[in-house]
Chain A
Amino acid sequence: MDSRRNRPTPSDRRHLIEPMQSNNTIPPAAPEPAILLPRDDAETASAWRSHRVRLGILAGVVALAVTYMVFAAFPGNAQFFVTVSEFRNDASLQDGQTLRVSGALVPDTFQRQNGSTLSQFIMGDKEPDVPGVAVDSPQLRASYVGVLPDLFFNPHSEIILEGSYDPHSQTFVTDNILVKCPSKYQSLQAEYPDAIPGDNS
């Protein structure tokens, strides 16, 4: 790219053309003055500095972005979500702050008015690897306006609600619903031997 830097400057060339005097009045070419600046070339120096500034800005932007993402993903000590019982046992989470609560849909609690996208349901703790709600789990009433994910009603699903608790109506007002997929993949035949292929409702 910048091949000029590698070429001898005119002063270097003079050494090549005129042989050095024997009494050494002309000192031999000084060693490289600095590792960082190969020649006392103002242009090179400023180009190097501007590279350095650009690198510094780049590093700063990347560091800020990474820090933001780390904090967005792990605010303080908090995890990505709390369970229904953790939420119930910690009053400080119930002051209307935005958070995620994970659990499972309590069977037969889902209600939706005809012609409306407003739905209300009750959540309980999800027992790992078992469909449905854990026995004796605390419950949390929740409301949601919008389209539900496909796997919302699947008993294997772990449901994560994003939103905030409303102390007046004692309801968790959900902004977004996420569905966590199972940690095992199983074929339709293995799981439901009688099921019609393709029908996974």
Chain B
Amino acid sequence: MASPGRRAAGGNSLLRAARSASLWFLLLTAALLLADGYLIFMVAPTDAVLGDVQRIFYIHVPISIISFLGFFVCAVAGIAYLIRRSERWDRLAHASAEVGVIFVTLALVTGVIWARPVWGVWWTWEPRLTTTLILWLIYVAYLMIRHYAPTPQQGRSWSAVVGIIGFIDVPIVYYSVQWWRSIHPVQVIGPEAADDALEPIISRILIFSLIAILMLACYLVMERMMLRAAEDNITELRRQQQDASPDY
């Protein structure tokens, strides 16, 4: 196996190219997010019933969907890791789980902010809120189990299993408003949404917002994967150094 030190030295120009590509991607994402903010606050119509507070919808719904997507990627990469035992799959699973946890946390936070003025309470134990909190706990456990496992290899395998089984909760969250009586409105996006659930202008801004926030999530996942690769390189170099040192 090539030494990671040499790999890092040889891959310097590659690394620099990746860095500059990711910088351009970040700038594009930032521009789209700024445009998204303009669309949400200046272009989107004021809701007839809910008023201005409904504008949080253009943030709340996309980040919820993207957190589902993050957990989907985590589950698929977890399966691939268990089959192939390749570090790269594990890095993808790890990064998308971390981004998924951040996004589902934001979904809960924006939901709480929206619930207080509209429902009249910050939180209520209704199906979608409860199943979403369970989703949050599952993927926090996913991140914890990596560090609790006795060896990094076991941490990778165990967390992959948690990530795959935990994904079962994602469709439950999506269908919860349909399966049980809920205070959440029924789905406005995805396979179960009614065709006329959203006015054209509202759904167009929602899709723009979804794309902008998806790009942010992709950027975060890529950046986290590079960071994980660097962490793994350092760990490997340290291990080699310790093995090479004669006094142990």
Give A residues with C-beta under 8 Å from B: 1-3, 5-7, 47-48, 51, 54-55, 58, 62, 65-66, 69-70, 72-74, 79-81, 102, 148-152, 154, 156-157, 160, 176-192, 195, 197-198, 200
Give B residues with C-beta under 8 Å from A: 45-52, 54, 57, 117-121, 124-127, 129-130, 133-134, 137, 141, 144-145, 148-152, 180-183, 185-186, 188, 196-199, 201-202, 235, 238-239, 242-243, 248
The 8 Å CB contact of B119, one of A2, A58, A179, A184, is A179
Q: Which applies to chain A's interface (DSSP): helix, strand, loop or mixed? A: mixed
**Known: A185-B198, A186-B48, A192-B48. Contact between A7 and B243, CB under 8 A?**
yes
Q: Are B137 and A65 closer than 8 Å at their CB atoms?
A: yes
Q: Are A180 and B141 closer than 8 Å at their CB atoms?
A: no
Given contacts A73-B125, A79-B181, could you give 7 more A-B pairs where the C-beta distance is less than 8 Å?
A151-B49, A151-B118, A152-B120, A181-B50, A186-B49, A186-B199, A187-B46
For A58, what are the chain B residues with a Cβ–Cβ distance below 8 Å?
Answer: 141, 144, 148
How many Å lie between the Cα of A66 and that of B144 in the bound state?
Answer: 17
For B130, what are the chain A residues with a Cβ–Cβ distance below 8 Å?
Answer: 69-70, 72-73
Q: Are B45 and A187 closer than 8 Å at their CB atoms?
A: yes
Q: Are B46 and A197 closer than 8 Å at their CB atoms?
A: yes
Query: What is the CB-to-nearest-CB distance from A149 to chain B, in angstroms, rounded to a whole number?
Result: 3
Query: What is the CB-to-nearest-CB distance from B209 to chain A, in angstroms, rounded to a whole number?
Result: 14
Write 19 A-B pairs (CB below 8 A) sorted by A numbering: A55-B148, A58-B148, A62-B137, A69-B125, A70-B130, A72-B125, A73-B127, A79-B180, A80-B182, A151-B50, A177-B120, A178-B183, A179-B118, A179-B120, A181-B118, A185-B50, A185-B199, A186-B199, A191-B48
For A180, what are the chain B residues with a Cβ–Cβ distance below 8 Å?
Answer: 119, 183, 185
How many Å lie between the Cα of A157 and that of B117 in the bound state?
Answer: 13
The 8 Å CB contact of A80, one of B181, B198, B201, B235, is B181
Query: What is the CB-to-nearest-CB distance from B126 to chain A, in angstroms, rounded to a whole number?
Result: 5
Q: Are A200 and B126 closer than 8 Å at their CB atoms?
A: no
**Known: A69-B134, A178-B120, A188-B46. Contact between A62 and B141, CB under 8 A?**
yes
Q: Are B181 and A81 closer than 8 Å at their CB atoms?
A: yes
**Known: A183-B186, A187-B47. Contact between A178 and B125, CB under 8 A?**
no
The 8 Å CB contact of B47, one of A150, A179, A186, is A186
Which residue of chain B is the closest to A184 with respect to CB atoms?
B197
How many Å lie between the Cα of A1 and that of B144 in the bound state?
Answer: 16
Query: What is the CB-to-nearest-CB distance from B25 to chain A, in angstroms, rounded to a whole number?
Result: 31
How many Å lie between the Cα of A132 and that of B196 in the bound state?
Answer: 22
Which residue of chain B is the closest to A197 with respect to CB atoms?
B46
Q: Are A80 and B48 closer than 8 Å at their CB atoms?
A: no
For B118, what are the chain A residues with a Cβ–Cβ distance below 8 Å?
Answer: 149-151, 179, 181
The 8 Å CB contact of B49, one of A2, A3, A178, A200, is A200
